[in-house]
Each structure stands twice: as C-alpha cells, then as structure tokens.
Structure 1
Amino acid sequence: MQRRVRRHRLIRALGAGLVGAAVVGGALAATWPRLPAEGSADVTFARDMSAHHAQAVEMSVTMVKRAADPAVKLLAQDILLTQQAQVGQMQGWLMAWGRPLAGTEAPMAGMNRAHMGLATAQQVQELAYLPVGVAERQYLQVMRRHHQGGVAMAQSALRDVNRPEVRAFAERVITAQTSEIEAIDALLAGRGVRPQTPTTAPKDEAAPTPMDGMTHE
C-alpha cells in the first residue's frame, strides 16, 4: 500500500513538472520573435545591407592593393575584413530563416543611390587606375558618403525590424561607421580636404539624408 502511494505521488509530481515545463515553453515561444517572412523589414535589411557592404568591400580590396599611405591602407583593410564578415553574418541569418539570399527584386531596387551613399560604377573603377594619391583621396570621400548611407540605413532599420539580433547588428553598424567617418575626416583634413556636407556636395553626388522606412522612389 505504501509503495502504491509513493508511486502515485511520484506520478503526480512528474505530471506537475511536465505541465510547468509546457507552460514555460509556451511562454518562451510566445515571446520569441517568429522567423521573418519574405518582404519583412528584417529580410529586406539583411539583403540590402549585404549589397551595400559588398560595394565597400570591392572598393577596399582595390585600396588595400594600391594605397601608399599606411593609414589609408589600414582603414581599407579594416573595412574589407569587417564588412565582409558582416555580409557572411547577414547571409547566415537569411539561410537560418529559410529565405533565399536574393529576392525577386535586386537589392535596393528603386532606392535613391545618392541618399544611400553608393558610389557610381565609374567612381569604383577609377580607384584602380587614378594616380595613387588621387585615388586615396577619392576613396576617402566616396567611403565617407558610403558610411553616411550605411548609418542612415541602420537607423531606418531600428524603426522597423523585429529580430533582436538584427537590432543589435544595426546599432553596431551605427557606432562603428560613425567612428570611421570621424577617422576619415581626420585623414581628409590632413590632405587639406574639407569633408562635403549637404550644402557643399555637388548636385549629382548629394550627401545622404535620413531615409524614412527606406522608402522607394
């Protein structure tokens, strides 16, 4: 009789534990963000920022090879390594979320390229054959605008994305690229170049402005 009582108590205790675990598990499932859907802000940001980073990596590869100024070469190397690693991280998210690396539209399709800080195809190509000193200056000027666009993209993402890892990533981008803009300003100042602002930038190379929700034109 005592053995049956102990067995019943054990069964009740195990049952209560399973119920408690189910409640806790259900609560965690309810609070943890769902996997982002196609077209969500998280997926769009991962693809767009990957493409944005890819251009910075391309330009930096050229300057790692060509730059004569050790400070410019070091900056280019840092951007190359950091942003290439971040591209891998964002692509890893897309695979983990069950989303293709590319959507039906090209990344950043229809967006204002100047506001996003993207260099023109000609500017990217010129870095490979302009005199080294000229190429270094152009790289710094173009990369400054590129970083401004990246910061604006990350700030916009913070208003829309849901995944905690994406929010943390966007915050890191803002901090890191803002710091690098300051470093670029110092390098430009050493060359007697005044960084362009929205009031001094040429009309065809307007400085980035905040992008509300990354709206398309």
Structure 2
Amino acid sequence: MTATATRPGQETPAPAPRPRGRGLRAALLAVIAVALVALGGGLAVGLGIGQEATPTANSVDAGFSRDMAVHHRQGVEMANLALERSTDPEIRQIAFDISSTQTNQAGQMEGWLALWGLPRSGGEHMAWMGGGHASHDTPSTSGSGALMPGMATEDELAALRSLSGTAFDVEFLRLMIRHHQGGFDMAQYAAGNAAEPAVRTLARSIAETQTAEVTTMVGMLTARGGTPLPAP
C-alpha cells in the first residue's frame, strides 16, 4: 500500500478518538441487560413454565411444588443411603432410579418457586388440597412439624441406618413403598387441579411412575421375605 503524501502546509489529520471508558461501559451494560432478559425467558422455558400469570403462595401449583419437593428430598435421602449400604444389584438399581429422578423433579419444583418469587417452605402441609387434607400425622423427632403421609420419622431413618445386608434391603423397600404411596394423593390432586400445564404434567408423571415403582418394589420385597408396611 502506498502511503499518501502530505502536501506542504497541510496538517496531518488527527487520529479518530478512541471510545472513552464511560461509553464502553455503557455499551457493555446494555449487552449484559439484553442477555439477562434472554436468560430469564430461557429459564422459564427450561422449567416448562409460562410467564402469563404467577401462582400465589396458597395456590395448588405452589403448595404442590413446596410439599412434593420436601417429600422427594426424603425419598432421595433414603435412596442414596441404599446406594451406600446395599450390595444387592436390584436394590441399587431402583435406588439409583429413584434418586436421580426425584432429585431432578425436586429441583424443577424448587425452580418454579424461585421463578414465582415464592418461598420453598412455610404453611401447613397439604392445606392447598382443601377438604381436610392438611397433614396432622405424627410429629417428627426433629421438631420440624407434622410429617406428610408416607414420610419416615427420624426414628425410622435411624433404625434403617443401623441395618445391613438383607435386613437393610427389606426395611428400605418397606419404607420406600410407603413413601411412594403417601405422595400419590398429592400428585393426583395436583394433576387435576393445578393451573400451570407443566405442573399438571409433572404431577401426572409422578403418580404414574411411583405407582409402577410400588408394584416393582412389592415384588422385590416379597422375594426377600418381607411384607409391606400399612398404607399411609
């Protein structure tokens, strides 16, 4: 490229001014703002939730999400214990399935609550179901309030942790069968009464999946010489 000569008496053009720090910062902030808006929309889409209306704290959608997430977290706790303690391949497989599925589902429900700006805890368990469904079961020894149907007490969990071998496998199946049975009414009610389609779909999936898993676990329990606990 041939350099352009400067004629005598002609001033050399000044270089173009560089963007000032303030202008560059404003441009970056604008880009970040657009990205955050897009991320918020993507989060809602990823959780399968529409953005037209926000459920209230006392709604079926919020109540189900709060209570079933808590219910699931105990199921995950027991399933993870089985993965640590059991050497039975069948027990380990169903424990893995329960742990992975319910961890994902609990995270999804807690994500909905965060998206709606609602707390993950609070209120009377199952009051959102109406018709006297509020939980008045045996209080937990941890003092955390009444347990929802099917949930194990702290004493039952402590007893499970003390077992090993086939005795552990049998007691794990007994507690998990009852746990699944206890969550069925909540899932069935939400499937028919939640306002959000995604909540109804998840509730229906939980009811169907856990019903099938109960059938499988009852067969496994019988094969190991155990009998189910009374249904909650």
- TM-score of the aligned structures, taking structure 1 as reference length: 0.71
Separation (CA, whole Å) in 1 of partners of 2:212 and 2:193: 24
One of 70, 89, 92 as aligned partner of 1:51: 70
One of 152, 166, 182 as aligned partner of 1:133: 166
User: 1:192 Cα deviation (Å)?
Assistant: 2.5
User: 1:133 Cα deviation (Å)?
Assistant: 1.5
Give the match for residue 208 of structure 2: 175
User: 1:107 Cα deviation (Å)?
Assistant: 5.0
* 1:35 partner letter: T
What secondary structure does 1:127 align onto?
Answer: helix
User: 1:32 Cα deviation (Å)?
Assistant: 8.1
Judge conservation of contact 2:66–2:121 (CA < 8 Å) in 1.
yes
What secondary structure does 1:136 align onto?
Answer: helix
One of 89, 100, 119 as aligned partner of 1:81: 100
- Greater relative contact order (Cα < 8 A, sep 6+): 1
* 2:207 partner letter: I
User: 1:101 Cα deviation (Å)?
Assistant: 2.0
Mapping of residues 1-217 of structure 1, within 5 Å:
34-103=53-122, 105=123, 107=125, 111-113=135-137, 116-196=149-229, 201=230, 207-208=231-232
Separation (CA, whole Å) in 1 of partners of 2:117 and 2:103: 21
Q: Which runs of 4+ in 1 moved over 4 A?
A: 106-110
Separation (CA, whole Å) in 2 of partners of 1:78 and 1:167: 22
User: 1:108 Cα deviation (Å)?
Assistant: 5.5
User: 1:154 Cα deviation (Å)?
Assistant: 0.5
Judge conservation of contact 2:113–2:120 (CA < 8 Å) in 1.
yes
* 2:121 partner letter: A
Query: Which protein shows a greater Rg?
Result: 2
* 2:97 partner letter: D
Cα gap change, 1:112/1:142 in structure 2, threshold over 3 Å: closer, same or farther? farther
User: 1:112 Cα deviation (Å)?
Assistant: 3.8
- C-alpha RMSD of the superposition: 2.2
- What is the identity percentage for the equivalent residue pairs of Structure 1 and Structure 2? 38
Aligned length: 168
- TM-score of the aligned structures, taking structure 2 as reference length: 0.67
